[in-house]
Structure 1
Amino acid sequence: MQSDVLTSWWIAAALVLALELFTGTFFLLLLALGLAAAGVAALLGAGSAAQTLTAALVGGGAMLALRAWRLRRRTAPGSATDPAQHLDLGLQVRVERWRDDGLAEVSHRGCTWTARLDAAEPPGRPGLHVIVGVDGTTLRLRALR
């Protein structure tokens, strides 16, 4: 019975790993890692509850660690204002009209972008503005004086 359970964990890990190779989803790789850890727990003689807990803790913990790492990397200080990452910083755009919600639509590089004023700026007026940051698809602007 023990070898059947051990084999089941390894087969499940191999199937999830194969699925990961087709989809390219890194999270499935971490789930396969958890299933393989459960197989190791079965090899060491752990009970079925301990094996399942091992799969959940290793796979789930690895997924949570990856998610936390991605969030830290995405919100790293200065990434929105790093000229090496955003070649638009320092370029000028013309704001024709500010909407009531504090946003504007500007034309930049042949596309329409959503723009908002930088936090330190007073309420917006139409005219030339300089790009001081990029938050996703939103440009942060500062009025050109």
Structure 2
Amino acid sequence: MEASTIWWLAAGAVVVAELLTGTFYLLMVALGLVAAALAAHIGLSAAMQIVAAAAVGGVAVVGWYYFKKKRPEDPSARADRSVNLDVGETILISEWSSDGTTQVKYRGASWTAIHRPGVTPATGMHKVVELVGNRLLVEPL
């Protein structure tokens, strides 16, 4: 069997493994294996094929790591409007307890609301910014 065929089969196996596991890094490794297959097609030695696989795969993995590191993270599911429909809704707060909580009537039920750390509790209209357990984290409008 040709060396390039072995590299192509290995690249295909890694792509299948990526589809089963969902990690994007395996696609970067598959790029390295494709580079080795191309090196085999142009007639480079086995050692150079391995060097091509390691260099391209390694650079791709490190590059993807730094790309993901610089990208801002997605908001937590607790503060994501598409996950929690309560995020962004407004409620009226008439008084706060000494422990920094209040009871509010929201969606036909009584909820405990808490304020953001560092924010002085105030009465009036507030916006729900996150759900923390079964409590509404609110901030003034």
Structure 2 stretches of 5 or more lacking a match?
82-86, 88-96, 100-116, 119-141
Q: Which has the larger radius of gyration?
A: 2
User: Distance between the aligned counterparts of 1:23 and 1:14, measured in 2?
Assistant: 14
TM-score after normalising by structure 2? 0.53
Structure 2 partner of 1:66: 64
In structure 2, how many angstroms separate the alpha carbons of the residues matched to 1:25 and 1:11?
Answer: 19
Which residue of structure 2 aligns with residue 38 of structure 1?
Answer: 36
Alignment partner, residue 24 of structure 1: 22
Letter matched to residue 42 of structure 2 = L
Q: Which residue of 1 aligns with 2:8?
A: 10
Unaligned runs of 5+ in 1: 89-95, 98-116, 122-145
In the TM superposition, structure 1's runs of 4+ consecutive aligned residues that sit over 2 Å from their partners are: none
Q: State the number of aligned residues.
A: 121
Matches within 5 A, 1:79-98: none
| Aligned-residue CA RMSD (Å) | 4.5
Which string of whole-angstrom CA distances, capped at 9 and with x for unpartnered residues, describes residues 57-90 of structure 1? 1111111111101111137xxx99xxxx89x8xx
User: TM-score, structure 1 length as denominator?
Assistant: 0.52
Helix, strand or coil at the partner of 1:25 = coil
Q: Identity over aligned residues, as a percent?
A: 39
The secondary structure found in structure 2 opposite 1:74 is: coil
Whole-angstrom distance in 1 between the partners of 2:24 and 2:17: 11
